[in-house]
Amino acid sequence: MTKRIYLDWNATAPLLAEARSAMLSMLDAPTNASSVHAEGRAARMAVEGARRSVAALVGAEAAHVVFTSGATEAANMVLTPAFRMGRAPLVASRLYVSAIEHPAVRLGGRFPAGSVSELPVEQSGRLDLAVLEAALSAHPRETGLPLVAVMLVNNETGIVQPVAEAAAIVHRHGGLLVVDAVQAAGRVPIDMASLDADFLFLSAHKIGGPKGAGALVSRGEVLMPEPLIRGGGQEKGHRGGTENVAAIAGFGAAAQVARERIDERTAAIGALRDRLERGMAQVAKDVVIYGQDVPRVCNTTFFSLPGLKAETGQIAFDLEGVAISAGAACSSGKVGQSHVLRAMGHEPRVGGLRISLGASTTEADIERALAVFERVAARRKPAGKAA
């Protein structure tokens, strides 16, 4: 049987050997990091080592990292009207989210639906900064602060968003900025100070760590959201519940690898992605590859083929042993147009397909994917007819 090829790294990355090793070392020991005996202290050392590694990945202080069960929990933790500045309550009266955000952000977290405003993107797929400026200019400050959520890298298109520029606008209007850095980690350098973000969040399994681990990273320790999960005071009271030491250790190991190898990985993966896109354009001159004219991460190709429904294309690739996705993994099982494409002003009824590469992708993988693409393109229905 022909070996399968995995080209869906934006959905999840295979577990790194370094992460697996770190996890196994913790699974074989009693690991409650709140215990004061030797075993507990060993667990605490593992957690704090991972905290330093995650902080280093995004240019933050280790003390400003709060571990969670994943990015979705971190998003729901920080997307709240209720903050504290030290002991004083601070209210965020409205949440502004870009139209291309992950559902975990678009749904608004703990904000009532009526207190969430969606910000459009330009046809290029990047946030419309002029609209952001206008929205915050009209925000009634007497009701509370504006909270703005903008992803650094879009999970479907790979397009890099103008986060630093957005931060300047947000802070000029006295607001707070939350950044979804899930798809950016390990693919572009991240520095909280350069981004000028107040909060950002991460997911372990996108960088080769385990599923079930994530982090909320803050600019400092004074301004923090009210806890989503209350309990025994873990994570300095910001997130209750016994720490998942094994998963956190794996997250830390993956974060260290992502930081240390980012330059070599991005260069190699970018060359493979460019080869893929050149080949696709040669095979099907009418292929539409989104985001080619704006900054993108090195590993992502999001495309449409006239006459080929995304679901049909995904199944065809899968039957030929190549794993790709029809949009985001969290919604790819649903029939319907990508909300990202819709936000960009595209109305292809066929939807879009995403190919995303990773550290173990080879030139042979790309050539095989192109061979499958050529067969799939040849079988599609004429443009304008249902696939």
Pairing status of strand 82-85 against strand 65-68: unpaired
Read off the amino acid at residue 237: G
Of 10, 22, 314, whose CA–CA distance to 185 is shortest? 10
The torsion angles phi and psi of 82, rounded to 5 degrees, stand at -105, 110
HSE-up of residue 325 (Cα within 13 Å, Cβ side): 25
Mutual angle of helices 17-27 and 38-57, in 10-degree steps: 160
Helix (H, G, I), strand (E, B) or coil at 63: helix
* Structure-token pair, residue 114: 């009526």
Does residue 298 carry a catalytic annotation? no
The phi, psi pair for 126, rounded to 5°, reads: -105, 150
Alpha-carbon distance 246 to 165, whole Å? 38
- In the 8-state DSSP scheme, what is residue 55? H
* Location of structure tokens 């799939």: 376
Evaluate whether 66 touches 234 at the Cβ level (below 8 Å): no
Residue with tokens 């890099």: 160
For the beta carbon of residue 214, count every other beta carbon within 10 angstroms: 28
Structure tokens at 355: 């190919």
User: What's the CA gap between 29 and 113, in Å, rounded?
Assistant: 45
Which SS3 state, helix, strand or coil, does residue 356 take?
Answer: strand
> Which residue, chain included where needed, has tokens 């080879």?
362
* Residue tagged active-site, from 330, 364, 379, 383: 330
CB 109 within 8 A of CB 95: yes
CA 138, CA 136: separation in Å to the nearest integer? 5
The residue whose two tokens read 């060993």 is: 42
What residues are annotated to the active site? 330
